[in-house]
Amino acid sequence: MQNNKIFILLPDGIGLRNFAYSDFQAIGLQEDFNVVFWNNTPFDLIELGFKEIKIQNSKSHPLTETYKNARKQIELNLNIRITKDRVYDTYRFPFSYATPTKAIKSGVTKLLSFTHSSKYGLKRIRKKINQEERKTLYYHQSLETLQKEKPAMVFCTNQRPMTAIAPLLAAQDLEIPTATFIFSWDNLPKATMVVETDYYFVWSDLMKKELLFYYPYIQESQVFVTGTPQFESHFDKRKLLPREVFFEQNNLDANKKYICYSGDDVTTCPDDPKYLEDVAIAIRELNQKGNALGIIFRRCPVDFSGRYEKVLLDYQDVINPIDPLWEKIGENWNTILPKQADIDLQMNTIAHTELVINLGSSMVFDYVAHDKACAFINYDVSNKKISDWSVKKIYNYVHFRSMPNAETVLWINSSDTIIATIEQGTAMNSSVIKEAKQWFEIINKHPSQEASKRIWKGIKTIISKQ
């Protein structure tokens, strides 16, 4: 009898939304898999009716973080060398010298990236990461768990966390096949690959092409194009609330139509409160002309700052904040984790708003899944929080080059054009929606609602080879 026990490795909470809060697990059970979550998050998945094994000690080797950071710098250096494109410099974070420890780590990272910026040097760094992780208690405990449980495969929900390295190495050393899912549409150009597995699951043919380009040691036969479970909920109409129920739950005015302003994190958009204010001013002007409009403000889930407080107070007549249902468990962004109810909240927010305004986020795809338009902010404010920040930096990122043409979204090129853009977006602009759907098909394999089924089909293919 074939072993159908599949370990779903949750190295952090990033994978919860795609793999615990979606229908992914239920589909796996329907396909006769024994699904066990290898859980390194604080969330109790047993409460959701899932099988889980808690990871008790996920401490990486003290040197791994430095090697990991050096690896990122080296990969970006090599990408620039190969493509002659300086865009990869924009994916670097500033080195920190705030404490002696951070200063030492930064210095060592810079030295390693200087001395190892070649294919051979990168290979040495990758090898050092594995060597150090195999020395850890975490690795040896992972070995013990795998030897006891004997899964047919370990599937990692996110390629980025250091906490995924040791358990995946343990599985490979026991000749258990491993795979990882590439979490986001912009991850591969950013050099965010931390783990190395036997197989890789990606959103699209475009992402497969990127993966093979940036990581030439990966073979085409190792890659499965499946789409992402991230968008599946939009096609489950059973979870849509009637308009009056949603409005009552969120203290909205039934006589108004709402647009959604989707916030960014402070790094991506330091001037986001000012953009929100500009939109609020435009909504006031539209209402003075006889319209009945409001703004639902959905902040970035990992932004718990108070930077919007003044604009929310000053424009409370037109802005209604509906905060994402996420929980802050630690100080780092990857310890701010979604609750299951947020999936339904986001879907209903989209269903009951006319369009979305933001700075270049993937919400464009969430909205077009509901046949609604997205407007991208495309101007710099006069008094910028950070002098060298610009929207030009954002839209020059590699993932925006996949946009089929400029008419894929509505562009807000100045605060003076917000009114016209809102009028255009609320008029159900079919040409923009048609172009956005084409972009969605480039970014994510369609039908989008079948991503989980395709992932399980890939898993079945892998374990059938054993």
Rg (CA), the chain: 23
What residues does each domain of the chain span? 5-60+136-228+448-464, 64-132, 236-443
Residues 6 or more apart whose CB falls under 8 angstroms from that of 355 comprise: 259, 260, 367, 372, 373, 374, 375, 410, 422, 425, 426
CA 436 – CA 380 distance, rounded (Å):
24
Question: Do the first three CATH levels of 5-60+136-228+448-464 and 236-443 match, i.e. the same topology?
Answer: yes
- Residue type at 291? N
* Protein fold of 5-60+136-228+448-464: Rossmann fold (3.40.50)
What pLDDT shows up at residue 387?
87
CA-wise closest residue to 454 among 442, 446, 463: 446
- The pLDDT assigned to 1 comes to 62
Enumerate the H helices of 243-362 as residue ranges: 243-249, 272-288, 309-314, 341-351
- The pLDDT assigned to 13 comes to 85
Query: Which segments in the chain show pLDDT lower than 70?
Result: 1, 330-335, 429
- Assess contact for 361 and 395: CB atoms under 8 A: no
Q: Do you know the residue count of the chain?
A: 466
What residue type is assigned to position 306 of the chain?
A: G
Sort residue 382 into left (φ over 0), alpha (ψ -120 to 50) or beta: alpha
What's the CA gap between 253 and 293, in Å, rounded? 9
Q: Which residue, among 367, 369, 376, 371, has the nearest Cα to 403 in the 3D structure?
A: 376
Q: What does the alpha-carbon distance between residue 161 and residue 164 come to, in Å, rounded to a whole number?
A: 6
Distance from C-alpha of 24 to C-alpha of 89, rounded to nearest angstrom: 36
**Mean pLDDT for the chain overall:** 95
Tell me the whole-structure pTM to 2 decimals: 0.96
CATH architecture for residues 236-443: 3-Layer(aba) Sandwich (3.40)
DSSP 3-state assignment of 294?
strand
Helix ranges, 399-450 (H): 418-426, 430-443
